[in-house]
Structure 1
Amino acid sequence: MTRHLEPVVDESLGDLLTRIFAGSWISLLIAFGATLLSVVIGTVMGVVSGYFRGWVDTLISRLMDIFLAFPLLLFAIAIVGVLPDDAFGLTGDWTRIVVLVFIIGFFNWPYIGRIVRAQTLSLREREFVDAARSLGARSPHILFKELLPNLVAPILVYSTLLIPTNILFEAALSFLGVGIRPPTPTWGGMLSDAASKGWYQTDPWFMIFPGVAIFVTVLAFNLFGDGLRDALDPRAR
């Protein structure tokens, strides 16, 4: 006898919204952690590359090209898919959270690294850098005391634009089944359950609400990044 398709659990609308809010911290934690790692690596590499130029710039630029050509999605699926539950002294969801933050953040730093490098190439020719050199300032002082404070604005702007990209990447991994494992709720995992188990045929909100949560969050960070760029750079208005 064929049974009608029903949700696996008798989830009410309130239960579904609770899982969406509970799953938001996973997406935001991974996105913010990966963005912070990308910003730190990309800023250091970009400033060093743009300031010293020459063979240092060539080496770091080629390294950026290699990372940009790397198949990140396939690599993340391969690594996270075979990752044991207990690794690196961590247990449960924290193992996958740390690994995802590292993979996404470490392989995405060239995006902000190129922006920082281009800004550094322009700033190193300014008068205040020449003045610091004439006063005997060493390279580390010029890099972190003179150049870096002038790079805060573009770094903040592109960081806010990198966060939604990382949210989508984490949701894609969870949708493919290699992200955070159930029963911990994630937006991508909820979409995967609704699609693979056919819940959307009887209860469409199982797919609509997680999709709307991802859409609204990504849109909010994109709009925030655009507004921050206009506020910090009046010439862009």
Structure 2
Amino acid sequence: MTPPLETTDSTAEVPPEVTLTGASQKAIEGRSLSQIAWSRLKRDKVAIAGGVVVILLILVAICAPLIVKVIGHPPNDFNYEQVDPDTSLPYGSVGGISWDFPFGVEPINGRDLFSRTVYGAQVSLLIAFLATLLSVAIGVVMGTIAGFFGGWVDAVISRLMDIFLAFPLLLFALALVGAMPDELIGLRGYWLRVAIIVFVIGFFNWPYIGRIVRGQAMVLREREFVDAARSLGARSGYILAKELLPNLLAPILVYSTLLIPTNILFEAALSFLGVGVPPPTATWGGMLNQATKWYTVDPEFMFPPGLAIFVTVLAFNLFGDGLRDALDPRGRR
């Protein structure tokens, strides 16, 4: 005969040696996707450094007038006293660098390279951000519609993407900018040229992000939460706005950070070829164009704009790569 089972008293005192460590502390809380992404991004020191440089560049562009007022001279003022009248080159052996002109001066006219480099950040970042915003807006709309609806809608939009991708963008930009009148829809001079460049870059670059969004939308439309929304009677517009777009924010944000440096380089290329923002407005590409004419006798002239483009593009690329790794759901937590 088996002995009766012993009953245990649930109210008995638990020995201290078996008490869980930390039981009296605050309960463990779950983390949102944004918190997980931020914790990953913080561990990537290279990406954080790139993000800090990006923020500093934006602040420099915004505060350019104040910076030039404290350090430097007006960007379009001629300082002939800094240039040798016989050779048209800056005094000194390093491009006229001094306490008053930390980056040196231009040959012939003596304009301050530091001030022009700082003001050039305004033009480059303004055009790059506006063009990226236009490309992202068009690409997201077209890519989401193509990926969600499929069929003939997807076929038409995909062929349209192929046409835009095969378009000779640089040649078109050269022809369009050169053929534009001096005034259009109330714009002239600087703002007319900026509007044209933003339109050319933004309108013809949307297929790159459109293809990425289309591929992601084709995957998301087969997910369970989309089927659940359909079963509840949700319309296509509601599913696109409330179900698909929130899940597309991560790839859109990552690709946008990688598209900005591409647009900066494209704007610099147009200014280098002489069809960018008209002079005397300071642009990095225009400064490089002028520097090539004096490379053999004044090579220091090309360093400020060249390094500005290099540092800006590198910072955006490093930050974009780190952001992509942080937002990757398959990454390690």
Query: 2 CA distance for matches of 1:235 and 1:203?
Result: 51
Structure 2 equivalent of residue 124 of structure 1? 221
Instruction: Name the CA distance, whole Å, in 1 between partners of 2:157 and 2:188.
Output: 36
Asked if structure 2 preserves the Cα contact closer than 8 Å seen for 1:195 and 1:207, the reply is yes
Q: Partners of 1:98 and 1:236 in 2: how far apart?
A: 40
Which has a greater percent of helix? 1
Distance 1:164 1:34 in 2: 11
Contact 2:117/2:305 (<8 A) preserved: yes
Alignment match, 2:309? 214
1:230 lines up with 2:325 in the alignment: yes
* Equivalent residues in 2 for 1:80-95, closer than 5 Å: 80-95=177-192
- Deviation digits for residues 165-206 of structure 1, max 9, x if unmatched? 00000000000000011100000000001113x2x3333221
- Residue 178 (1) aligns with residue 278 (2): no
- Answer whether contact 1:161 1:222 (CA < 8 A) is retained: yes
Larger Rg: 2
Q: Deviations over 1:16-43 (max 9, x none)?
A: 1110000111010110000000000000
Counterpart among 74, 94, 105 of residue 202 in structure 2: 105
Identity over aligned pairs, percent: 72
Counterpart residue identity of residue 163, structure 2: I
Q: In the alignment, which of 2, 5, 8 is matched to residue 108 of structure 2?
A: 8
CA distance in 2: counterparts of 1:99 and 1:154, whole angstroms: 28
Measure the CA separation in 1 of the matches of 2:317 and 2:234: 39
Deviation at 1:91, TM superposition (A): 2.0
RCO higher in structure (CA 8 A, sep ≥6): 1
In structure 2, C-alpha distance between the alignment counterparts of 1:52 and 1:84, rounded to whole Å = 41
CA deviation after TM superposition for structure 1 residue 134, in Å: 0.1
Counterpart AA for 1:230: D
Consecutive unaligned residues in structure 1, runs of 5 or more = none
Residue of structure 1 equivalent to 2:172: 75
For residues 74-132 of structure 1, give each alpha carbon's deviation from its aligned partner in whole angstroms, at most 9, with x where no partner exists. Answer: 00000111222321211220001011101100000000000000000000000000000
Q: Distance in 1 between matches of 2:110 and 2:257?
A: 38
Alpha-carbon separation, structure 2, partners of 1:10 and 1:201: 18
Structure 2 residue corresponding to 1:203, chosen from 280, 295, 298: 298
- List, as ranges, runs of 4+ consecutive aligned residues in structure 1 with deviation greater than 3 Å: none
Q: Give the RMSD, CA atoms, in angstroms.
A: 1.2
Indicate the SS of the match to 1:50.
helix
Residue aligned with 1:110, SS: helix
Contact persistence 1:160–1:222 (CA under 8 A)? yes
Corresponding residue of 2:146? 49
1:166 to 240, 259, 263: 263
| CA contact 2:88–2:108 (8 Å) conserved in 1 | no
Q: Which amino acid aligns with 1:211?
A: G
- Number of residues of Structure 1 aligned to a counterpart in Structure 2: 230
Gaps of 5+ in 2: 1-85, 90-106
Distance 1:90 1:46 in 2: 32
Residue 230 of structure 2 corresponds to residue 133 of structure 1: yes
Q: For residue 201 of structure 1, give the secondary structure of its aligned residue in structure 2.
A: coil
User: Residue 101 of structure 1: SS of its match in structure 2?
Assistant: helix
Q: Is the 8 A contact 2:226 2:239 kept in 1?
A: yes
TM-score (norm 2): 0.67
Native 8 Å contact 1:5 1:202 kept in 2: no
